A and B are shown apart, each in its own frame.
Chain A
Amino acid sequence: MKLSARSYAILWDAHAWVGAIASILIFMMFFLGAFALFAEELAPWQERAFRNPVVGDDAQALVVAQGIVDAEAALQPSWFGLSLPTDEEPWMRLWRVRGDGLAYEFVEPLTGARFDQRSELGDFLNELHFLEPLPHGRTIAGVASLVLLFLAATGLALQFGNIMRELVRFRPFAKQRRVFWSDAHKVIGVVLLPFFLLFGLSGAALGLSGSLSPLLAMALFDGDEEAMARVKEWPAVPGPSGTQAPAPDLREAYEIATARYPEATHRWFFISNLGDENVVVDLPGEMPGRVAPFTNVRLDRGGEIVWARDAGGDNFYAAPAAALFGLHFASWSSLGGKVIWALLALLGAFGILAGNLLWIERRRSREGPFDRFLARLTVGGCAGLAFAVAIIFVANQILPAELPGRSSGEKLALLIAWAGALLYSFLARRPADAAKRLLFAAGALMLLLPLLDAALHARIPFDPRMPWLLATELGLSFFALLLLGAAFAIGRLAGTSPVSASSPHPPQPEPTSVDPKETQCDDPLSPSSSW
């Protein structure tokens, strides 16, 4: 099937314009997705207290947990969550929803000692991945995922007859940078097409399911939200009765859930209506090695199972949705699979970036205000984000663990660094210089992080006896080398411009190695040295 010249031109323009407009947002989601995958594994790195595992077992932790929920019952939070210690997070985590929103706290599982000043580095990068700090951020992330689907579909339509060629054609040493960015964009687009489709669809479903829920209930379930919740296999919890009641028995709940799903590990208690007669306890379980690993057991105050959910879901919607979301979060995998997912996410981010750079190169000869703006926004948005992520890791190290508002300080550091990088990218003489410096600074900071941590905590860096820290240090070092490599490559690309703007030689037209169809929609390239 071949597109007509008109259809090709329209879809090409649509792909290019929509990509240019949405690129920074989608880049950000992919780039931060690589960090979001390790939100839990980052805990020992970001929080010093987690570096010294607390010796104890679940039985002891459950005694402390029971004391906590007994005391909490008097406060009647609308929702209360509690986690048992894990390898990467050897303290217990409490979540509490009351009138003023969600609050976190950590508890030492042997003594019950609490502390509320903690780093939220991993969680914050995960929230930024979903754009949650923005008003209606999750919905915006859902719309951005639809845009990703649109870009993947139009890209596929444009390259439909050439997929095999685009899969293998990469000319990194081509004279003209446009060829390099064009090949990079197309090769990554073709290789990662299934990945883009997976994340576009799962991201749209995750981002929009909340905001579309009332519409879906009205249109498909005659307004019966409970019926829709049953199909989604997460039935609603009854409201509080108003009659006070003691907290449920957590040990008993834990034993019932473990008996129901012996293969699953149960580390969380999610309690609704705590302190009320209508209290229910949800115990999500995780079965390692499955694409859709999550089970759930819901108990009432008397310890009766009121609802249970098998791993993988058991209806025509819940089963594929669980698999889709399991693939999105790489919950099917151990650390190795997450690393592969993170590398694919970074490659996807680079493919999106390559599309922007291709746009900038193609329009070099007739560069308008939007093109100049896009070039600088790409630098500030993308290289600036890498710099800002490096800064939040540094802030995590430098800010004292007991500092009030430490978590807010870390978040602020990231936002200020990103804003500063954006400003710098617009003030710098050449965008390429700004990109090179930001990437170099980000890479150097990340490379120094293990040494900084070792110096601040009087320990040997890359110590194999601390596997979670070692994994983080190796990940950060690898990422730092990627950023330094990118800074070096940009320096080379900017420094070896084929034709200078002031060169006596006139710009050469695009060689025939570029798809002649592309010239239907754009003028031939006129390279210059301003990037």
Chain B
Amino acid sequence: MAKRSFRGKSRIFAAAFGAPAAALLGSLALCRALPLAPDVMLFAFFFFGLPLVALAPCAALLAPSCSSAWAGSLLVAVASAALLVLG
């Protein structure tokens, strides 16, 4: 029971913090990686990136398991950070 409750809390943390942070980095990385003009890049971030950040918690909540919610968030965050640093 305690393990289940911990998993529930962990998933909520993933939805509240992990997924939005990953979506923020992912949006920035995508805007940066695509061949976009600076004004289109900023437009894409504010008009598509921010809604993505708002919707990211849904992905974490709907993930098959708590670990997959965290794994997905971490994967997106790490890949995006790598793209931003190396790109």
Contact = CB atoms under 8 A, between A and B. Distances in A.
Given A231-B39, A316-B43, 11 more contacts: A14-B58, A149-B50, A149-B51, A150-B54, A153-B58, A201-B47, A205-B46, A220-B32, A231-B42, A317-B46, A320-B43
B74 interface: no
A41 to B, nearest CB: 30
A10 B61 contact: yes
A150 B28 contact: no
A216 B32 CA distance: 10
B80 to A, nearest CB: 9
Interface string B35-62: 0011111110111001101110110011
Nearest to A222: B32
Contacts of B32: 219-220
B18 to A, nearest CB: 15
Given A146-B53, A150-B54, A316 B62 contact: no
Contacts of B43: 316-317, 320-321
A208 B37 CA distance: 22
B50 A208 contact: yes
Nearest to A150: B54
Interface residues of B, number: 26
B84 interface: yes
Contacts of A11: 58, 61-62
Interface residues of A, number: 32
A147 interface: yes
A80 to B, nearest CB: 30
Q: Report which residue of B42, B47, B53, B58 has the largest number of chain A beta carbons within 10 angstroms of its beta carbon.
A: B42
B28 A149 contact: no
A318 interface: yes
A216 B50 contact: no
A319 to B, nearest CB: 9
Given A227-B38, A316-B43, A200 B54 contact: yes
B28 A219 contact: yes
For the complex of A and B, list the 10 residue pairs with the smallest distance between their C-beta atoms, beginning with the closest. Answer: A149-B54, A315-B39, A316-B39, A317-B42, A219-B28, A317-B39, A317-B43, A146-B54, A150-B54, A316-B40
